[in-house]
């Protein structure tokens, strides 16, 4: 037997797997270091995975150290010291979760200390070793939080506020140098740092977006070069999110690797090389603005590649599902302009999923567990009280019971023998894996609930972690596109498919879309609804898709906005005002203009007769003939907005009507000259008297204002002006009850005396108004489907804002919602 075969055999005996052995067989130098290290270990037979990994990583440190030219000689000279460390710290698994820093410090201790006897007999040994390597170090959560808070608030806060999130790498590096924090798991430290930084700064927004690099001016190009440049610029202007970034880099159909290659042939026979995606919402709530990105990514990517996208309801939790959510989800998909290739339900596959669960048990990869919730947490190394991870992970008492026992118990679960919480089916994964998604996830649980589609047929229901990947595979999904909070789930997703010998669909994760200044939590929105702060889940101040639809946001504007943001693996945090700006720009080019007076005051034109009428022609949109024209009757009684008159005749900054200043009415030939006012007992102006300047004594007024006539205006029951719902920029960071005290009292202002020109009726009749230029937009969505309603009646109220008709309107009573103001 060769030396390599001998050490490989030893590594196999202590538990190294075939894949690792194959890798090591190609690294003779590392094998030569592992051999003497393992000879110093007293324990016989298989070693725990954590111990094997620690010894392996120590060998790697010996192998990589450029200063130690003779690592074998070093090990030989200090074998007593190394043996003591291996048998007293490694084998006993007392190394702070195999912390890499601890191993590095142990290696430095070995290389920097003198002869074995001098070190081992020292009164300070092993205290010095443990101190240097952080062994047996005990840091409470409060200690860690206190050290990080002190550093952020006393050392670096001013610089943090100035540089915001760009300072994160420096903070991570410096926190790890604080006292004993270098021995803490960096992932745990990072979570604490990120949370505390977010408390100080709020969530990321466009201020934190990478600044574009300023390119140096280029040399002047020839005509040929200019033609090439123009062509390139034209191509760039037509780029979209499906050709670049995250989506542009996705694999082609059939390129994702398979553990069982034979499954790929069946997959390709079904898909015929076409992209197949799915949008899989849970029908337990209303979709919000973040879901619009997921809808566009999945439906849009499939459509762009001439493929198919399923709408699949992930209906595995009957306790929270209601028909209204099923209906709303489909309506929102249609409203955004997409049509599912097929509508499916996870419940369609309940029979198959049950059989796969049985197969998992038969493969010894599934087991029935009767532990309590707290016991499961403790066995996963999680404190059930604080939720803090990091403890020892161990198998539960049921894990290694015979397969026949698990099959029998699972059947009892199916037959309704157990009540909720008494038994669950878990996957037999890898409890020593650093990822929580591999800590024996729950596959099935008992629920005494009637399912909206299957009724009372089932007493057990599969979990998301069990269902999602299997149904993706059964539906031959080529790209399972989800947000990055499911990144860790990819490992368990692929693990389960491999155990069941199924086609391994490729899960890929993109960054989610968040809007600051609002909340997305279903539980918190429910509190707002139940406490009467908002009207319902479709209140225009919320950011559910139903709310944005009711407020009048065009679906095309939302899709265009998402496209401009692009798709990356980083979450996108956008201020609500930026979304409103995008909507405003879209409306500027796509809706007609009307005159609306919010707070009307009567203006009597004393020098015109009662029967005087003048037809004034106005375009529905200045400079765009596609919208056509309309006529408004000018008479001797009109209404202007109360804010368009001032009693302060000396105010030089006020350009509208005053005692000393005439004003023009839009498209009326002559100006109005002030005469007098009438007031009520409280001093409020009730009427203004003016003269019509028919002799043109005033050449040109300082400005023109909107108006409506007493003979051609319509009363508006309510005009609802919407502003930000919360006073703070980060209400999601407030406590579960504290956020209710953050409500902006002026988030909804209702005006009850507004008047609108009677051409509003024509706009209603023609809505949705679709021009040829509108159809040419990249993300044009037709709003002629049943998913659209009053909200598609949109217009710009001149000098006032953009408005739509609310659902509360009737043929006799008009209710308008302000979509956005004219300017920020």
Positions marked active-site: 282, 512, 522
Structure tokens at 639: 């209404």
Q: Which residues pair with 603 in a beta bridge?
A: 638, 688
Cβ–Cβ under 8 Å, residues 295 and 515: no
Tokens of 490: 């990819």
Please list, residue by residue across 738-760, b when 16 or more beta carbons sit within 10 angstroms of its beta carbon and e when fewer do.
ebbeebeeebbeeeebbbbbbbb
Return the bridge partners of 788, or none. Answer: none
Query: Residues 205, 209, 214, CA angle at the centre, nearest 5°?
Result: 150
Calpha distance 8→19 (Å, rounded):
12
Residues in the chain: 824
Give 320's Cβ-side CA count (13 Å radius): 14
Burial class (CB in 10 A: 0-12, 13-18, 19+), 22: exposed
Rounded CA separation 509/127 (Å):
46
Q: Is 422 left (phi over 0), alpha (psi -120 to 50) or beta?
A: alpha
State the number of CA atoms in the 13 A half-sphere of 124 facing the CB: 7
Question: Is the alpha carbon torsion for 611, 615, 616, 619 positive or negative?
Answer: positive
Distance CA 73, CA 33 (A): 10
CA atoms of 92 and 97, how far apart (whole Å): 12
What distance in Å separates the CA atoms of residue 535 and residue 109, rounded to the nearest whole number? 67
- CA distances from residue 757 to 506, 630, 633, 687 in whole angstroms, order as listed: 57, 10, 9, 20
The span from the CA of 756 to the CA of 707, in Å, is: 9
Q: Do 454 and 347 meet the contact criterion of CB atoms below 8 Å apart? A: yes
CA dist 296 and 292 (Å) reads 6
CA dihedral 488, 343, 242, 238 (to 10 degrees): -160
Contact between 505 and 472 (Cβ < 8 Å): yes
DSSP strand E in 642-783: where? 664-665, 672-679, 685-692, 704-705, 708-709, 713-715, 718-722, 748-751, 755-757
Question: For residues 439 and 393, what is the distance between their CA atoms, to the nearest angstrom?
Answer: 9
Q: How far is CA 269 from the centre of its chain?
A: 34
64: three-class secondary structure by DSSP: helix
Largest CA distance in the chain: 119
Q: How far apart are CA 278 and CA 337, in angstroms?
A: 16
Q: How far apart are CA 805 and CA 791, in angstroms?
A: 5
Strands (DSSP E) contained in 134-242 are none
Residue from 394, 392, 395 nearest 383 by CA: 392
Helices (H), 432-591: 464-474, 489-499, 522-530, 545-551, 555-565, 576-590
Give the Cα separation of 111 and 114 in Å (integer): 8
Helices (H), 426-530: 464-474, 489-499, 522-530
Query: Positive or negative, the Cα torsion across 596, 599, 601, 602?
Result: positive
Minimal CA–CA distance to 557: which of 574, 581, 573?
581
Write the CB contacts of 613 (distance below 8 Å, at least 6 apart in sequence): 633, 634, 635, 711
């Amino acid at each position: 037997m060769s030396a390599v075969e001998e050490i490989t055999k030893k590594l196999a005996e202590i538990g190294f797997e075939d894949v690792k052995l194959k890798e090591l067989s190609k690294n003779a130098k590392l094998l030569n270091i592992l051999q003497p290290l393992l000879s110093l270990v007293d324990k016989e037979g298989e070693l725990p995975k954590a111990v094997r990994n620690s010894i392996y990583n120590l060998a790697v440190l010996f192998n990589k150290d450029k200063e130690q030219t003779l690592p074998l000689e070093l090990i030989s000279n200090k074998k007593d010291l190394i043996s003591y460390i291996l048998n007293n710290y490694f084998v006993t698994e007392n190394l702070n979760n195999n912390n890499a820093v601890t191993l590095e410090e142990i290696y430095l201790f070995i290389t920097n200390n003198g002869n074995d006897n001098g070190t081992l007999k020292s009164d300070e040994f092993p205290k010095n070793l443990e101190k240097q390597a952080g062994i047996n170090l005990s840091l409470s959560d409060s200690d860690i939080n206190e050290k990080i808070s002190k550093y952020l608030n006393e050392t670096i806060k001013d610089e943090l506020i100035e540089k915001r999130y760009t300072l994160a790498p420096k903070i991570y590096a410096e926190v790890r140098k604080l006292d004993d924090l270098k021995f803490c798991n960096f992932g745990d430290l990072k979570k604490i740092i990120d949370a505390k930084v977010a408390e100080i700064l709020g969530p990321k927004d466009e201020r934190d977006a990478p600044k574009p690099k300023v390119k140096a001016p280029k040399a002047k190009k020839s005509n040929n070069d200019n033609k090439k440049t123009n062509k390139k610029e034209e191509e760039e202007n037509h780029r979209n999110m499906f050709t670049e970034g995250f989506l542009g880099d996705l694999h082609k159909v059939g390129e994702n690797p398979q553990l069982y290659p034979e499954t790929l042939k069946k997959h390709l026979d079904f898909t015929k090389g076409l992209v197949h995606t799915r949008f899989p919402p849970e029908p337990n709530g209303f979709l919000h603005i973040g879901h619009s990105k997921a809808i566009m990514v999945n439906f849009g990517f499939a459509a762009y590649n001439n493929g198919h996208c399923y709408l699949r309801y992930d209906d595995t939790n009957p306790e929270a599902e209601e028909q209204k959510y099923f209906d709303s989800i489909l309506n929102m998909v249609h409203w955004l302009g997409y049509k599912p290739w097929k509508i499916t339900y996870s419940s369609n596959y309940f029979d198959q999923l049950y059989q796969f669960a049985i197969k998992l048990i038969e493969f010894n990869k599934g087991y029935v567990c009767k532990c309590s919730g707290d016991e499961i947490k403790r066995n996963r190394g999680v404190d059930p009280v604080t939720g803090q991870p990091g403890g020892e992970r161990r198998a539960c008492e049921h894990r290694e019971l015979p397969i026949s026992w698990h099959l029998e118990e699972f059947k009892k679960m199916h037959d309704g023998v157990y009540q909720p919480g008494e038994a669950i089916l878990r996957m037999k994964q890898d409890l020593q894996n650093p990822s929580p998604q591999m800590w024996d996830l729950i596959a099935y649980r008992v629920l005494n609930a009637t399912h909206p589609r299957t009724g009372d047929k089932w007493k057990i229901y599969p979990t998301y972690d069990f269902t999602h990947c299997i149904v993706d595979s059964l539906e031959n999904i080529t790209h399972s596109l989800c947000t990055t909070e499911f990144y860790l789930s990819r490992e368990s997703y692929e693990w389960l498919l491999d155990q069941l010998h199924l086609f391994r669909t490729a899960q890929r994760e993109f960054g989610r879309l968040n809007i600051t200044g609002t909340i997305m939590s279903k539980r918190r929105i429910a509190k707002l609804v139940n406490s009467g702060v908002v009207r319902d889940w479709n209140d225009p101040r919320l950011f559910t898709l139903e709310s944005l639809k009711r407020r009048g946001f065009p679906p095309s504007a939302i899709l265009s906005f998402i496209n401009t943001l692009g798709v990356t693996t980083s979450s996108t945090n956008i201020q609500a005002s930026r979304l409103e700006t995008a909507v405003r720009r879209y409306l500027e080019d796509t809706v007609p203009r009307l005159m609306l007076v919010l707070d009307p005051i009567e203006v009597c034109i004393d020098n015109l007769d009662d029967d005087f009428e003048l037809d004034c022609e106005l375009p529905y949109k200045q400079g765009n003939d596609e919208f056509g024209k309309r006529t408004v009757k000018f008479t001797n009684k009109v209404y202007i907005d109360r804010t368009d008159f001032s009693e302060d005749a000396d105010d030089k900054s006020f350009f509208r009507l005053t005692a000393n200043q005439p004003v023009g009415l839009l498209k009326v030939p002559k100006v109005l000259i002030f005469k007098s006012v009438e007031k009520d007992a409280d001093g409020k102006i009730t009427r203004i008297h003016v003269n019509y300047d028919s002799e043109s004594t005033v050449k040109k007024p300082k400005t023109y204002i909107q108006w409506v006539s007493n003979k051609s205006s319509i009363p508006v029951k309510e005009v609802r002006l919407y502003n930000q719902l919360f006073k703070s920029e980060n209400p999601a960071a407030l406590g579960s009850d504290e956020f209710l005290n953050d409500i902006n009292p002026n988030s909804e202002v209702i005006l009850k005396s507004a008047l609108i020109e009677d051409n509003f009726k024509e706009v209603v009749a023609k809505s949705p108004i679709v021009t040829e230029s509108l159809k040419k937009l990249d993300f044009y969505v037709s709003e002629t489907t049943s998913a659209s309603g009053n909200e598609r009646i949109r217009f710009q109220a001149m000098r006032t804002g953009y408005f739509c008709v609310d659902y509360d309107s009737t043929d006799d009573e008009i209710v308008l919602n302000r979509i956005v103001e004219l300017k920020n």
